[in-house]
Amino acid sequence: MTNCKYTYVKVPGEEKRFFCLKQSPFRLAWLLLFEKNTLLPRDICGNKLPKWSWRWIKNKFLRYYYFSKTNASKTLKFLQYKFNLPDFVPSVSLPFYGHVCVLVNKGYKIFDIHRKVATKVYRDDVDISTITAELERLKKASLFSFGPSLRKTDITGRFYEEDYIDGSLDYSARPRNSSDLMKKFGKDIVPCLINLLLNEPAQRITISDYIQKMLSTLKVDNLIAERMDVADIDKILSFIHLMKEKFQPEGNRYVYLVLTHGDFCPANMLNTKEGLKILDWESAAYRSALFDFYSYFFFRPLHQEYPVEELAPELKTGLEFFLSKLTSVSSEVLANVKLYEKAYRWLFYVERIHMLVERIKYDTKLDVAGNILRYIDVFNKYEELIIDKSIDSIHIRDSEIYTLRADNQRIHRQLKTRSSG
């Protein structure tokens, strides 16, 4: 990072955020106290209480009190650091101005609230080829109304600019109940999934070729040997080997790869005045057709300690609803997904581990190895549960594929005729 003329400092109570010392403390106080902490997406999910009830008023008062007290303390500490920055306080120097910067994968993201711009600056240890590949993936976000648009890219300068999106987080520390989740899924999430699936032509590949392609780049033992115990590495390798064995009977079957966001979960979603927006497209790539779908639902047990027993019926209902919406728009992909839904779920498991292993090289903010082990535990629990309780979907016989395809083609022709009429 050359020409690093702006110093960002971390104040107590902050985990990954750094405030720019060059900004006015009055401007920072205004942002934190009167714009409801615009520097951090707001969390609007909470306990539902009758409006203007005593408990509702008390809850509002307490939340505002602790909110104001915490941010006032941060502002005072920032003011102290601005005029006398102790050596022991964590800080970082960056080449661009913003009100705040956040530690992200491969570098820092700087947020300039006044200009409505988010700038990512890559660390010096990230090679140019990696930056180039990531920028190509980020361009995919500009294809969708729910993604931020790139404003400027500079590979040699090792940075890019995109729209800053202000909104409310679509999740809370406590998982929302099933009813709320499914309403949100049907209203906002499914349209995004369909747009992703249909935006670019799907790619067809045999399961065996796709698995081999991923395994050829999964150098798990080399990448995490220095950061994990041998027993943990063995657990990861054993799971991957088990999944490979599961695919052997269906290795010659074809599956579809589509454009995916890569980290399609509530943590990367904001509710805005323009509707739902999805952030962080650095992992966008072609993956199995249900990858983003499973990413959305598995987020809860993986990151919110949500019981897998509660996930199973939600996932089953969500999949049935999602596939029903695909009936008239993608008959071939739909038929294939219905035929091999179990294989698509297993592919998601391998794809997710593959993604995490690739992040080990540059990601300094994520416990990648720990995440892989947690993923494996959740995946194993889910598989055990659906076998015990027969929640798994029925695997359609090969003889039924032609009937299924014919039905979908017939429905598609009917809808097309109605729309033209």
Q: Report DSSP letters for 362-379, one per residue.
A: T-SSS-HHHHHHHHHHHH
Cα gap 334→318, rounded to integer Å: 15
How far is 93 from 110, CA to CA, in rounded Å?
Answer: 11
Confidence class for position 78, pLDDT limits 50, 70, 90: very high
The pLDDT value recorded for residue 394 is: 32
Given this model, what pLDDT does residue 57 score? 80
pLDDT interval class at 415 (50, 70, 90): very low
Strands 168-169 and 42-43: parallel
Least trusted range by pLDDT, from 126-130, 168-172, 177-181, 201-205: 168-172
Mean pLDDT across the chain = 82
Q: What is the pLDDT of residues 17-58, one digit of tens each?
A: 899 999 998 888 887 776 555 555 544 444 455 666 777 787
φ, ψ at 403 (rounded to 5°):
-65, -45
Q: What is the pLDDT of residue 3?
A: 74
> Residue 332's CB: how many other CB atoms inside 10 A?
13
Find all residues with CB under 8 Å of 360, minimum gap 6, and list them. Answer: 223, 224, 227, 368, 369
CA nearest 394: which of 327, 297, 320, 330?
A: 320
Residue 386 confidence (pLDDT) above 50 = yes
Spatial neighbors of 354 by CB under 8 A, at least 6 apart, are 214, 217, 218
Would you say the C-alpha torsion 172, 175, 181, 185 has a positive or negative sign? positive
> E strands along 137-237, which residues?
150-154, 159-163, 168-169, 203-206
Mark 20-41 as b/e (b = at least 16 C-beta within 10 Å): bbebebeebbebbeeeebbbbb
By mean pLDDT, which of 111-115, 313-317, 365-369, 388-392 is the weakest? 388-392
Rounded to 5°, the CA angle 153-40-53 comes to 150
The model's pTM = 0.83
* Higher per-residue pLDDT: 138 or 68: 138
Q: What is the distance of C-alpha 78 from the center of its chain? A: 31
DSSP class of residue 16?
Answer: S
Which has the minimum average pLDDT: 12-16, 66-70, 337-341, 371-375? 66-70
Give the model's confidence band at 154: pLDDT under 50 very low, under 70 low, under 90 confident, else very high. very high
Say how far apart CA 184 and CA 394 lie, in whole Å: 26
Instruction: Say how far apart CA 212 and CA 274 lie, in whole Å.
Output: 42
Question: Residue 116: is its pLDDT beyond 80?
Answer: yes
Two tokens, residue 406: 């014919």
Sorted by where each starts, the structural domains of the chain and their CATH numbers stand as 6-163 (no CATH), 168-420 (3.90.1200.10)
